[in-house]
Structure 1
Amino acid sequence: MGDEAGTANQGAPNAGVSKSVSVRELVNRLKLEVIVGEEALDRPIRRSKVHRPGLEFAGYYDFFPIEHVQVLGKKEITYLHKLTHQERDERIGNVVKYHPPCFVVTWNQDGLEYLTAHCRKEGIPLLRTPQTTTEFMMLADGYLMKQLAPEIQVHGVCVTVAGTGILLRGRSGIGKSETALALIRRGHRLVADDAVVLKKVNPQVLLGTHNGTTREFLALRSVGLMNVVRVYGRGAFQDETRIVLDIELVPWKENELYNDLQLEPQTSEYMGVRVPCIQIPLQPGRDVAALIEAAAHNWYLQTQGYSAADEFMRRLQQQ
């Protein structure tokens, strides 16, 4: 079930496509001041980790990540201020000639005439923010990591149940959207219906979100499209969630035994990230939404180190 099901539903990854974010998007997202380089704001950013060029200003370039956003905090600016005019001009020139996407000065530091001149000459945006260096780096890394993460689109529904991100899969018409509606009516949240975008933000974390077009919409057979925010309020929708459970809805098979109390752990794999996977057979009268709630709560307890099956076996042994 697990690995085969997950692999079969991965969709088409954008592997071959070089993703990028423009400097303009970064400026708008983080509300940065443009000191110079307004005409160069369409320069692409293709790496998610920002970089502080301290060693580079000191003359060491062996591992200079030139495709990253360069952040100049108090350490870097203070160091440059202490250099002679000739030294400063040489050190800045040696860094700027590699043409990184942009430079960002934190703490609203001023006295940047020398940086401005070099950036204007090379056509590189010089930006500024009142945020501390640590605050800006956290925000920039988080934004760029999500925007540039590898992603695939899968057919399914994504919901959060008691804060637990769940991917619901199953063949077309099996009742995924209706199950999502039942969960929303119980106070849980929709993330995406029909087309779920999965983003691999690091080797262990998979984010689920919508594709923009389907944001807030739930498609119900015989009813049509429903905007869950308009009908149930803002609490019925969440923009993204970390996927920690993959639940596949499958048809009930009459001759199949479904009385196992201690199932072997199964997983699905998406872009190399493994996610716990379970199957829920559908039968008239089964409260599928309640079963999904139970699965979410049970998963949470397991992350806290508790296993009901293990406790049950201990009780048997004690008797």
Structure 2
Amino acid sequence: MAEEAHVLVLDIFNRFDLEIKAGRSGIKNKITVSDIKRPGIELAGFWEHFYPERINLIGTTELSFLRGLDENVFIERIDEYVSYDPVCIIVARGEEIPKYLLKRAEDKGIPILSTKITTTRFSSMLLNYLEEKLAPLTVIHGVLVDIYGIGVLIKGESGIGKSETAIELVKRGHRLVADDIIEIKKIGELRLSGSAPENARYFLEMRGIGIINVKTLFGAGAVKHDSPINLAVRLEKWVEGYDYERLGLDDHKTEIMGLEIDEIVIPVKPGRNLALVLEVAAMNYRMKTMGYNAAVDFTENIMKK
């Protein structure tokens, strides 16, 4: 069974160059959720929906509230706070941390880190980092290529020509992301990102030749570590008499990890320049995202005539 995705408090410490104030023994605590908690209402005494597995972010507001409490109430709230064993506490703006909180965190092994960045800004940075690192992941077969900044996922049955098309695209100045095995992460609720497994990164299989290293052969500019997945292209053998899309008025979608992305079907037959077709598909997709649809424009021109 695969281990649950996680990052360590140590990873956060290193990534954002934080200062550790207490609880160094908990620096290898595992963080498994991307949500962040600002424990304002909890410090006011309401603990019903407190989730200690979330990183706790404390700013000026929370500390001002704590400093205004009666000493006995303050001690009671801190004791209850640390009793839940929050995975990590980060204090923003370089604020001075109450000594009693530092002492109790040290006793319990709860890491308290400090940053000089403002609370809102750091919250945004941390959330983006955690969503990327802890994003749900799936593995699919295909080829992922960056064409004019558009992440194009090439699908199709074995031997249809996916890898050969990718190499031709690389020769035309585009970048290979992954061949054969693609690890796809769902980042947030609206974005898919694809990359190659670390042990297969930049390698590509060509039948009759074998495994090649695209980075070694074509240079660092021919590869890319990861890419958003914007468009899916399914290659399939040309069937004579089949009514393939001619105008492009109908939008087709494919679903990956609960998200729908645009998909087009490209029929394959000898002599067809697939790399050129995919370049045009990527450029046409970009024009659609900018609000221009050539098929609709063409149809409207015909209707006007």
Report the TM-score when normalising by structure 2.
Answer: 0.91
Report if the CA contact (8 A) 2:24-2:106 is conserved: no
Query: More displaced, 305-314 or 26-35?
Result: 26-35
1:271 Cα deviation from its structure 2 partner: 1.8
* Other-structure match for 1:37: 23
Which residue type is aligned with residue 289 of structure 1?
Answer: A
* Other-structure match for 1:109: 95
1:248-267 map, 5 Å: 248-258=234-244, 260-262=246-248, 264-267=250-253
CA, structure 1 residues 111+146, in 2 after alignment: closer, same or farther (shift >3 Å)?
closer
* Other-structure match for 1:183: 169
* Other-structure match for 2:282: 296
Question: Residues of 2 paired with 1:235 and 1:132: CA distance?
Answer: 37
Question: Residues of 1 paired with 2:213 and 2:96: CA distance?
Answer: 48
Say what the alpha-carbon RMSD is for the aligned residues. Answer: 2.1
Question: Residues of 2 paired with 1:263 and 1:159: CA distance?
Answer: 25
Report if the CA contact (8 A) 1:203-1:272 is conserved: no
Q: 1:121-177: per-residue Cα shift (whole Å, max 9, x none)? A: 222111122322223212211121122221110011111111111111112222212
1:315 Cα deviation from its structure 2 partner: 1.0
- Identity between Structure 1 and Structure 2 (%): 37
Equivalent residue for 2:254, pick from 242, 252, 268 = 268
> Structure 1 regions of 5+ residues with no counterpart?
1-13
2:230 pairs with 1:228: no
1:57-206 map, 5 Å: 57-206=43-192
2:272 pairs with 1:282: no
1:259 Cα deviation from its structure 2 partner: 6.2
In the TM superposition, structure 1's runs of 4+ consecutive aligned residues that sit over 4 Å from their partners are none
Question: Residues of 2 paired with 1:227 and 1:112: CA distance?
Answer: 55
* Other-structure match for 1:51: 37
* Other-structure match for 2:291: 305
Question: Residues of 2 paired with 1:69 and 1:43: CA distance?
Answer: 11
SS in 1 for 2:107: helix
1:228 Cα deviation from its structure 2 partner: 3.0
1:255 Cα deviation from its structure 2 partner: 3.8
Report if the CA contact (8 A) 2:150-2:282 is conserved: yes
> Structure 2 regions of 5+ residues with no counterpart?
none
Report if the CA contact (8 A) 2:146-2:175 is conserved: yes
Question: Residues of 1 paired with 2:8 and 2:234: CA distance?
Answer: 38
- What is the total number of aligned residue pairs between the two structures? 305
1:69 Cα deviation from its structure 2 partner: 0.3
CA, structure 1 residues 312+45, in 2 after alignment: closer, same or farther (shift >3 Å)?
same
1:284 Cα deviation from its structure 2 partner: 1.9
